[in-house]
């Protein structure tokens, strides 16, 4: 059927899929973007975005029904009532925890680009070299210099606000004006800078929220309700940014409710001829054909699609020849840090809800620092005055307590570390054919844990935070470690890593599956290591880079 | 006062661009180039005003919960918890969000609080004077705080801690709480990280 044939098929519509659709359609390819979930229209689909607190029946608290539908996601205190409908129903889509694993999924157009944290940092040159220098896992097949122009490219379009700092460990980019640290954060930043002779720096977070109008989108209104969808289009999401750009070309077809069950491999051409789709609503199965496929279904689901595409030639899945498919699952480990009280700013306050905090770039194991573990971590945090949720024990109940809670409380400051997780072949996901989802499809089984390197790092992650706060005059400093299991960082990476050698990697340096070169995997599954900075900006850059390579290769007749 | 580089002097202390929701939706419609499909959906809200009953709680129990809530957050210059139907709110939260064990402790608390009032004053909680109610609630609050400080991971917590938490949540997140007890602006439009504060100014929600 002619109408079922496209130049390219993009599987998934999240951050990576959206970028693939934009870059491919803008270069003239006819693209079919497949999304397994429902469509959420920009603005009109954001049903809770403009609700006042009192209009949420349970005042944004988690109900038993939400808990039932999201049994693992609600363990973390991350979900809330207003956007619970954006998170995947785990009863319909279960998975198996061989060891504890949190999997946060968003099955709808836009994927997690609607709910993401929007922190956007470039990897630094050492990040791409670390595996090779330390002899850990395998080398990246590319370097910072290969990525830099693509970071420029995606930052310029997406709109990343941030300050230029000139730090080698956190390269500057094409930024919109930075947001502002508040008065307490500025004071603490100045004390940290002085105490550590500028070897540690607290800066405003680099965030995909617009600080001025950009590419026809409105600037941030400081509502801090980003994860409900922004009616102003003020943060980067598929809906606000890449999807309209792709639609504008006239080359995009978007098909929601389309579960890609497998890539159809042709052993004669050693390529895929297209994809098999199960309609999530009608359960009808059909095939769509294309010259190339961009697999951007999210780290673990891209691995699922590849593993479920097993053939007699590749019994463990397409791309399994190296034995690494599904392995080397990584994340950022966190839930450890410190907080304390700040004195002396009782006559200061803030206006507006800034959807951003401060960032302290990595300072461990670089520039001559040497610890008993390798790699490092960065901190995210913020300062604010306590609100009505605080306990005012000395007030008891009644009018004195009520009056006290109507005023802001003392200033507090807190920070959480995000640490690099090393690749480990034993951390893997695989198909469990004994457990089936709503559509009778096998589900993923997760078998992952932290290693010794991360456990050692966590000690510094707590103590360094406390030391910096105490050096800044913060009082009652307390460290915390709320424990962590893989997936909680919602930065899943690995499962189809890039490399230089088909014997040890799933993808080559252009994100092509070694075993089927017209398949490009550009979401988090391609990652060979994790750095300690938030990964989404790198997925964007990686996807744009691969899309341009793919179009050139198509023109040359190379794929 | 030190101004940041990114903030002009006139921006500090400037009257905030105050916008209610209807204005916000209208402004977004303008930004999007005219009429917006679905604006009715964005404007449709839910309130508790029509909640006269809650599953599993009798009208008498809701009245008792209103009385307890209004003791925890009484009317002052601004309305108290009873004005936001705190009894119905507590009943709904306990029904929809608590697990069975927590639910049982909360319900048992309704019996215990009357028993405590009887033991102390010789009559049920709602028959107490406002002063007696406050004394009893303060005693129960001290009791729950002592228990909580000894074992913060205790679950279920003391029934009075549940009642206090739900009252504070239900009150401050209500329309009265957000607009009269503290301040809430749907679309702040800007961020200023260093503005003057004087004692008595309300907090932001």
pLDDT at B195: 98
Write out chain B residues lying below 8 Å of A407, CB-based.
199-203
> Quick check: B96 contacting A, CB < 8 Å?
yes
The pLDDT mean for chain A works out to 97
Using CA atoms, how far apart are residues B145 and A53, in angstroms rounded to an integer? 28
Using CA atoms, how far apart are residues A387 and A395, in angstroms rounded to an integer? 15
Give the one of B24, B137, B197 whose C-beta lies nearest to A50's C-beta: B24
> Quick check: B181 contacting A, CB < 8 Å?
yes
Q: How far is B80 from chain A (nearest CA, A)?
A: 9
Q: Is A226's pLDDT higher than 70? A: yes
Write out chain A residues lying below 8 Å of B97, CB-based.
58, 61-64
Cα(first)–Cα(last) distance of chain A, in Å? 22
* Angle between helix B159-172 and B86-97 (nearest 10): 120
pLDDT at B20: 52
Partners of A359 in the β-ladder: A203, A380
Q: Is B24's pLDDT higher than 90? A: no
Name the residue with tokens 């929600």.
B205
Instruction: Sort residue A123 into left (φ over 0), alpha (ψ -120 to 50) or beta.
Output: beta
Tokens encoding B178: 């957000």
**Cβ-proximal residues to A77 (8 Å cutoff; 6+ apart), any chain:** none
Compute the C-alpha angle A404/A405/A408, nearest 5°: 95
For A50, name the nearest residue in chain B, comparing CA atoms only. Answer: B42
pTM for this entry: 0.93
> Quick check: A42 contacting B, CB < 8 Å?
no
Whether the bond between A51 and the residue before it is cis, its omega within 30 degrees of 0, is no
Q: What is the pLDDT of residues A305-336, one digit of tens each?
A: 999 999 999 999 999 999 999 999 999 999 99
Give the one of B74, B76, B188 whose C-beta lies nearest to A351's C-beta: B188
List Cα–Cα distances, A297 to A108, A304, A346, A550, in angstroms. 11, 9, 49, 18
Using CA atoms, how far apart are residues A290 and B115, in angstroms rounded to an integer? 75
| pLDDT band at residue B43 under the 50/70/90 scheme | very low
B93/A349 touch (CB, cutoff 8 Å), yes or no: no
**Contact A108/A114 with Cβ under 8 angstroms?**
yes
- Model ipTM value: 0.94
Q: What is the pLDDT of residues B64-113, one digit of tens each?
A: 999 999 999 999 999 999 999 999 999 999 999 999 999 999 999 999 99
Using CA atoms, how far apart are residues B51 and B178, in angstroms rounded to an integer? 20
Give the one of A44, A178, A222 whose C-beta lies nearest to B41's C-beta: A44
Q: What is the pLDDT of residues A175-210, one digit of tens each?
A: 999 999 999 999 999 999 999 999 999 999 999 999
**Contact A86/A107 with Cβ under 8 angstroms?**
no
Write out chain A residues lying below 8 Å of B194, CB-based.
182-183, 186, 348, 350
Using CA atoms, how far apart are residues B90 and B81, in angstroms rounded to an integer? 11
Give the one of B134, B172, B197 whose C-beta lies nearest to A347's C-beta: B197
| pLDDT band at residue A394 under the 50/70/90 scheme | confident
Comparing CA positions, the residue from A39, A56, A516 lying closest to residue A295 is A516
Using CA atoms, how far apart are residues A351 and B16, in angstroms rounded to an integer? 8
Counting one residue from chain A and one from chain B, the pairs whose CB atoms sit within 8 A come to 200
Comparing CA positions, the residue from A152, A191, A198 lying closest to residue A175 is A152
pLDDT at B56: 83
Higher pLDDT, B34 or A450: A450
Chain B residues 8-47 within an 8 A CB cutoff of chain A: 16, 21, 24-25, 28, 31-32, 36-38, 41-43, 45-47
> Quick check: A478 contacting B, CB < 8 Å?
no
Longest pairwise C-alpha distance within chain B: 68
A43/B199 touch (CB, cutoff 8 Å), yes or no: no
pLDDT at B28: 52
Using CA atoms, how far apart are residues B143 and B120, in angstroms rounded to an integer? 15
> Quick check: A404 contacting B, CB < 8 Å?
no
| pLDDT band at residue B153 under the 50/70/90 scheme | confident
Comparing CA positions, the residue from A356, A222, A387 lying closest to residue B178 is A387
pLDDT at B47: 41
A388/B205 touch (CB, cutoff 8 Å), yes or no: yes
Tokens encoding A367: 């520039």
Q: What DSSP element (H or E) covers A262?
A: strand A258-266
Write out chain B residues lying below 8 Å of A349, CB-based.
195-197, 201
- Strand, coil or helix: what is A498? strand
Chain A residues 179-198 within an 8 A CB cutoff of chain B: 179-183, 185-186
| pLDDT band at residue B17 under the 50/70/90 scheme | very low
Q: Is A539's pLDDT higher than 60? A: yes
B42/A50 touch (CB, cutoff 8 Å), yes or no: yes
Comparing CA positions, the residue from B104, B46, B83, B47 lying closest to residue B167 is B83
Q: How far is B106 from chain A (nearest CA, A)?
A: 16
Give the one of A57, A398, A407 whose C-beta lies nearest to B134's C-beta: A398
Higher pLDDT, A481 or B32: A481
Q: Phi and psi of B29, rounded to 5°?
A: -60, -40
Write out chain B residues lying below 8 Å of A218, CB-based.
31
List the alpha helices (DSSP H) in chain B.
Answer: 21-31, 39-43, 59-72, 86-97, 100-121, 130-150, 159-172, 175-176
The pLDDT mean for chain B works out to 82
How many residues are given for chain A? 559
Write out chain B residues lying below 8 Å of A49, CB-based.
42
Tokens encoding A87: 């998170």
């Amino acid at each position: 059927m002619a109408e079922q044939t496209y130049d390219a098929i993009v599987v998934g519509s999240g951050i990576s899929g959206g970028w693939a659709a934009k870059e491919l359609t803008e270069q003239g390819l006819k693209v079919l973007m497949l999304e397994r979930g429902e469509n959420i229209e920009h603005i009109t689909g954001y049903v809770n975005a403009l609700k006042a607190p009192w209009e949420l029946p349970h005042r944004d608290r988690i109900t038993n029904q939400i808990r039932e539908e999201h049994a693992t996601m609600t363990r973390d205190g991350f979900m809330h009532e207003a956007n619970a409908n954006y998170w995947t129903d785990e009863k319909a889509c279960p998975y198996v925890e061989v060891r504890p694993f949190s999997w946060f999924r968003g099955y709808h157009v836009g994927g997690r680009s609607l709910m993401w944290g929007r922190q956007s940092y470039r990897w630094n040159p050492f990040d791409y070299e670390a595996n090779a220098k330390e002899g850990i896992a395998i080398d990246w097949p590319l370097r910072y210099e290969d990525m830099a122009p693509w970071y420029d490219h995606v930052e310029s379009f997406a709109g990343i606000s941030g300050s230029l700092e000139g730090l080698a460990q956190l390269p500057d980019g094409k930024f919109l004006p930075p947001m502002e640290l508040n008065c307490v954060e500025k004071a603490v930043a100045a004390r940290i800078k002085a105490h550590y002779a500028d070897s540690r720096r607290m800066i405003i977070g680099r965030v995909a929220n617009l600080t001025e109008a950009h590419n026809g989108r409105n600037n941030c209104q400081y509502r801090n309700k980003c994860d409900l969808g922004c009616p102003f289009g003020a943060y980067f999401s598929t809906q606000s940014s890449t999807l309209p750009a792709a639609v504008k070309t006239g080359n995009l077809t978007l098909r929601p409710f389309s579960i890609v069950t497998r890539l159809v491999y042709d052993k004669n051409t050693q390529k895929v001829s297209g994809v098999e789709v199960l309609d999530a609503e009608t359960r009808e199965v059909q095939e769509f054909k294309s010259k190339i496929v961009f697999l951007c279904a999210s780290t673990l689901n891209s691995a699922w699609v590849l593993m479920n595409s097993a053939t007699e030639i590749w019994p463990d899945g397409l791309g399994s020849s190296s034995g690494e498919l599904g392995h080397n699952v990584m994340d950022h480990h966190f839930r450890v840090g410190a907080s304390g009280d700040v004195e002396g700013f009782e006559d200061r306050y803030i206006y507006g809800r800034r959807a951003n905090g401060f960032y302290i770039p990595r300072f461990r194991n670089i520039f001559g620092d040497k610890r008993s573990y390798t790699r490092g971590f960065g901190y995210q945090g913020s300062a604010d005055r306590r609100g009505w949720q605080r306990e005012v024990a000395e007030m008891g109940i009644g009018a004195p307590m009520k009056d006290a809670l109507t005023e802001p409380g003392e200033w507090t400051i807190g920070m959480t570390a995000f640490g690099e997780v090393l690749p480990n072949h034993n951390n893997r996901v695989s198909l469990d054919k004994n457990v089936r989802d709503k559509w009778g499809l096998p589900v993923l089984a997760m078998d992952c844990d932290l290693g010794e390197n991360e456990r050692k790092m966590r000690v510094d992650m707590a103590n360094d935070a406390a030391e910096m706060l105490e050096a800044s005059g913060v009082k009652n400093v307390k460290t915390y470690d709320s424990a962590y299991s893989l997936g909680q960082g919602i930065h899943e990476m690995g499962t189809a890593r890039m490399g230089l050698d088909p014997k040890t990697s799933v993808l080559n340096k252009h994100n092509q599956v070694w075993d089927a070169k017209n398949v490009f995997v550009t979401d988090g599954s391609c990652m060979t290591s994790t750095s300690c900075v938030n990964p989404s900006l790198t997925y964007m850059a990686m996807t744009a880079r691969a899309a341009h390579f793919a179009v050139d290769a198509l023109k040359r007749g190379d794929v | 006062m030190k101004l940041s580089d990114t903030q002009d002097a006139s921006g500090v202390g400037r009257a905030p661009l105050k916008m209610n929701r209807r204005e916000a939706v209208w402004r977004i419609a303008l930004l999007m180039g005219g009429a917006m499909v679905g604006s009715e959906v964005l404007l449709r809200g839910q309130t508790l005003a029509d909640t006269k009953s809650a599953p599993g709680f009798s009208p008498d129990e809701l009245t008792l919960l209103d009385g307890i809530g209004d003791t925890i957050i009484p009317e002052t210059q601004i309305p108290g918890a009873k004005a936001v139907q705190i009894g119905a709110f507590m009943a709904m939260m306990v029904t929809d969000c608590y697990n069975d064990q927590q639910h049982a402790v909360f319900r048992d608390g309704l019996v215990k609080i009357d028993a405590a009032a009887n033991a102390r004053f010789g009559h049920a909680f709602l028959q107490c004077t406002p002063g007696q109610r406050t004394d009893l609630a303060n005693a129960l609050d001290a009791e729950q705080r002592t228990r909580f400080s000894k074992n913060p991971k205790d679950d279920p917590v003391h029934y009075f801690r549940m009642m206090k938490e739900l009252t504070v949540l239900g009150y401050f997140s209500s329309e009265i709480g957000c607009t009269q007890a503290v301040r809430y602006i749907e679309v702040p439009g800007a961020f200023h990280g260093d503005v003057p504060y004087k004692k008595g100014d309300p907090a932001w929600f």
